[in-house]
């Protein structure tokens, strides 16, 4: 048994970042983690492995589609799936070991095993009870499925199974056109699978700007992905090697079946709170099954905090990380801060999709007068040279004050470009502030500047 200032349950991006910050602020800190490696969903079965496969499959796409046009001739590479998986596993290993190193460097103790909270001020790991002045729950999330859909992680898989399939399937059906479905659907489509995405709603990536949704879906269709929209999946039937997906079209209730070698269920994730003992502690939950917290990330039980996927808000690694730093500040007696209005979202397909702030629909719903500045990557010299002219940057600004309210990008490096808009928004900048900032030529970032110019007197290269 040991006494700590703070014990964090879970070592995902919320938990490990929180632990390092707590230690930096002089608190005696430990993290309980039940997995064999640190880093949570993100490093083990989420952000990092999926980005490794997206990168590898994008390289194949470039070789197959663009190399010859640039005068790079020769045999196109073929896919060695085992090697691709081992590259992905190596990437995971480097990252998870990196967190172990950071824990040692910052003197954060790893309590190996699954933790529970028998009472406020105590964390039990493997029958040992540790005392903690503060407890931070960062236990993350797990995939949620559908009634009638049984996951076996072989034929009917969640994202976790989809990151380690035995082979590249001939036919893959993806249930859900959200972030996971489209990222992993893209990976397999590029590797040669026939991918069909079945989505309940009429648009992909719910909650995004409608114009981006349309362009994104059209672009993915051009890349060979088939979409069945407005379709409610009823059930799956699987054998050891194949599955059938039954769905009903919402417009006419007609029933349909598609065959697949692999079915990826990507219909959202839910907080993972099993075994923590929250009921007995009387911890309040939201209607959607998340841990309810106040503005200081504290639950209704004093000294117990929660951060990351287990609480409300977008299930994103960087949101969890920032909550981790803010909650650490709180328990150290400082003032933690996170601006929920400026959390970027990125989809790492090709082209990438990125957004921050309000969509046009949200501004309309709020009755806010706004203007739109748009610029196509077709007018960007660098994008044209790199076969990356598809897509656009769209900036939304207040009609009267010109203050930037949101930005939506589909195009090359969108996930990096969005951050200059985030910084601008944090400083309350106007579109003119962005437009008056000199941007290096030739860079993709000039497209952001041009969209800002389009909010005023006009873009130059439109």
Q: Which of 231, 245, 316, 452 binds ligand FAD (CB under 6 A)?
A: 316
Asked if 421 touches ligand NAI (CB under 6 A), the answer is no
Q: Which of 33, 199, 321, 420 binds ligand NAI (CB under 6 A)?
A: 199
Helices 414-426 and 445-454, axial angle in degrees (round to 10)? 50
Asked if 50 touches ligand FAD (CB under 6 A), the answer is yes
Catalytic residue among 65, 256, 337, 441: 441
Pick what 30 binds: ligand NAI, ligand FAD, none; C-beta below 5 to 8 Å, kind-dependent. none
Pick what 137 binds: ligand FAD, ligand NAI, none; C-beta below 5 to 8 Å, kind-dependent. none
Q: Are 374 and 455 in contact (CB under 8 A)?
A: no
Q: Where are the beta strands (DSSP E) in 252-403?
A: 255-260, 262-265, 269-271, 304-306, 345-347, 352-357, 370-376, 392-398
Q: Which of 23, 27, 42, 233 binds ligand FAD (CB under 6 A)?
A: 42
Asked if 29 touches ligand FAD (CB under 6 A), the answer is no
Asked if 138 touches ligand FAD (CB under 6 A), the answer is yes
Asked if 195 touches ligand NAI (CB under 6 A), the answer is no
Name every residue whose Cβ is closer than 8 Å to that of residue 87 and which is 6 or more positions away in sequence. Answer: 52, 56
**Stretch near ligand NAI under the rule CB under 6 A, chosen from 14-22, 94-102, 209-217, 346-354:** 346-354
Give the CA dihedral 425, 429, 433, 439, nearest 10 degrees.
-20
Asked if 309 touches ligand FAD (CB under 6 A), the answer is yes
**Stretch near ligand NAI under the rule CB under 6 A, chosen from 24-32, 66-74, 192-200, 298-306:** 192-200
Nearest approach, Cβ of residue 141 and ligand NAI (Å) = 7
Q: Which of 29, 96, 141, 290 binds ligand FAD (CB under 6 A)?
A: 141
Stretch 190-209 residues interacting with ligand FAD (CB under 6 A): none
Nearest approach, Cβ of residue 345 and ligand FAD (Å) = 8
- Cα 219 to Cα 198: distance, rounded to the nearest angstrom: 17
| Radius of gyration over every alpha carbon of the chain, rounded to an integer in angstroms | 23
Nearest approach, Cβ of residue 327 and ligand FAD (Å) = 11
Q: Which of 77, 93, 224, 275 binds ligand FAD (CB under 6 A)?
A: 275
**Stretch near ligand FAD under the rule CB under 6 A, chosen from 269-277, 391-399, 435-443, 444-452:** 269-277
256 as an active site residue: the answer is no
Asked if 4 touches ligand FAD (CB under 6 A), the answer is no
Q: Give pairs for 236-241: CB < 8 Å, separation 24+.
A: 236/148, 236/149, 236/150, 236/156, 236/263, 238/150, 238/152, 238/155, 238/156, 238/263, 239/155, 240/154, 240/155, 241/155
Q: Are 196 and 182 in contact (CB under 8 A)?
A: no
Stretch 353-412 residues interacting with ligand FAD (CB under 6 A): none
Q: Map residues 158-177 to x or -, x wherever contact with ligand NAI holds by CB under 6 A.
A: -----------------xxx
Pick what 139 binds: ligand NAI, ligand FAD, none; C-beta below 5 to 8 Å, kind-dependent. ligand FAD
- Cα 148 to Cα 246: distance, rounded to the nearest angstrom: 10
Q: Which residue has the tokens 């941007």?
A: 439
| CB burial of residue 271 (10 Å; 0-12, 13-18, 19+) | buried
Exposure b/e, 340-355, CB count within 10 A at least 16 = b: eeebbbbbbbbbbbbb
Asked if 185 touches ligand FAD (CB under 6 A), the answer is no
DSSP category for residue 351? S
Q: Are 269 and 176 in contact (CB under 8 A)?
A: no
- Cα 162 to Cα 2: distance, rounded to the nearest angstrom: 40
**Complex with ligand NAI: residue 84 or 175, whichever CB lies closer:** 175
Q: Are 394 and 372 in contact (CB under 8 A)?
A: yes
Asked if 121 touches ligand FAD (CB under 6 A), the answer is no
Nearest approach, Cβ of residue 177 and ligand NAI (Å) = 5
**Stretch near ligand FAD under the rule CB under 6 A, chosen from 167-175, 224-232, 317-325, 369-377:** 317-325
**Stretch near ligand NAI under the rule CB under 6 A, chosen from 103-111, 264-272, 425-433, 454-462:** 264-272
Q: Are 456 and 372 in contact (CB under 8 A)?
A: no
Per the DSSP assignment, residues forming a β-bridge with 396 are 372, 406
Residue 132's nearest CA partner among 18, 2, 16 is 2
Asked if 179 touches ligand NAI (CB under 6 A), the answer is yes
Q: Are 408 and 216 in contact (CB under 8 A)?
A: no
Q: Are 369 and 398 in contact (CB under 8 A)?
A: yes
Residue 123's nearest CA partner among 285, 8, 286 is 8
Stretch 287-326 residues interacting with ligand NAI (CB under 6 A): 314-316
Q: Which of 19, 45, 52, 198 binds ligand NAI (CB under 6 A)?
A: 198
**Complex with ligand FAD: residue 9 or 174, whichever CB lies closer:** 9
Binding site for ligand NAI (CB under 6 A): 146, 175-181, 183, 198-201, 206, 232-233, 266-269, 314-316, 346-348
Q: Which residues have a catalytic role annotated?
A: 441
């Amino acid at each position: 048994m040991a006494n700590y200032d703070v014990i964090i349950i879970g070592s995902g991006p919320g938990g490990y970042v929180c632990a390092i910050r707590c230690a930096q602020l002089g608190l005696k800190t430990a993290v309980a983690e039940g997995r064999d490696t640190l880093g949570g969903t993100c490093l083990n079965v989420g952000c990092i492995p999926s980005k490794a496969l997206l990168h590898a499959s994008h390289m194949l796409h470039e070789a197959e589609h663009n190399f010859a046009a640039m005068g790079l001739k020769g045999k196109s590479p073929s896919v060695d799936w085992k090697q691709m998986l081992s590259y992905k596993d190596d990437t995971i290993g480097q990252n998870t070991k990196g967190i172990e190193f950071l824990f040692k460097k910052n003197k954060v103790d790893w309590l190996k095993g699954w933790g529970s909270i028998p009472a406020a001020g105590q964390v039990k790991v493997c029958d040992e009870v540790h005392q903690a002045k503060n407890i931070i729950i960062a236990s993350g999330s797990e995939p949620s499925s559908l009634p009638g859909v049984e996951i076996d992680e072989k034929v009917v898989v969640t994202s976790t199974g989809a990151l380690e399939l035995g082979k590249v399937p001939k036919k893959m059906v993806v249930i859900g056109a959200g972030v996971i479905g489209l990222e992993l659907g893209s990976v397999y489509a590029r590797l040669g699978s026939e991918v069909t995405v079945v989505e309940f709603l009429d648009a992909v990536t719910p909650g995004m700007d409608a114009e981006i949704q349309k362009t994104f879906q059209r672009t993915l269709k051009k890349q060979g992905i088939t979409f069945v929209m407005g379709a409610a999946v009823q059930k799956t039937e699987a054998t050891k090697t194949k599955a059938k997906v039954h769905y009903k079209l919402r417009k006419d209730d007609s029933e349909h079946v598609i065959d697949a070698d692999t079915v990826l269920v990507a219909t959202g994730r839910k907080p993972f709170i099993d075994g923590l003992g929250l009921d007995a502690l009387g911890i309040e939950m939201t209607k959607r099954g998340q841990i309810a917290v106040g503005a200081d990330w504290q639950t209704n039980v004093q000294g117990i905090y929660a951060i990351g996927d287990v609480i409300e808000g977008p299930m994103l690694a960087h949101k969890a990380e920032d909550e981790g730093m803010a909650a650490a500040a709180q328990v150290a007696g400082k003032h933690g801060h996170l601006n929920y209005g400026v959390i970027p979202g990125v989809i790492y397909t090709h082209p990438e999709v990125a957004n921050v702030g309000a969509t046009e629909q949200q501004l309309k719903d709020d009755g806010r007068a706004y203007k739109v500045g748009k610029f196509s990557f077709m007018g960007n010299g660098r994008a044209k040279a790199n076969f990356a002219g598809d897509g656009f940057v769209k900036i939304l600004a207040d009609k009267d004050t010109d203050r930037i309210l949101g930005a939506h990008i589909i195009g090359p490096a969108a996930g990096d470009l969005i951050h200059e808009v985030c910084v601008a928004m944090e400083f309350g900048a106007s579109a003119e502030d962005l437009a008056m900032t000199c941007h290096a030529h030739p860079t993709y970032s000039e497209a952001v500047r041009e969209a800002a110019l389009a909010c005023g007197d006009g873009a130059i290269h439109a």
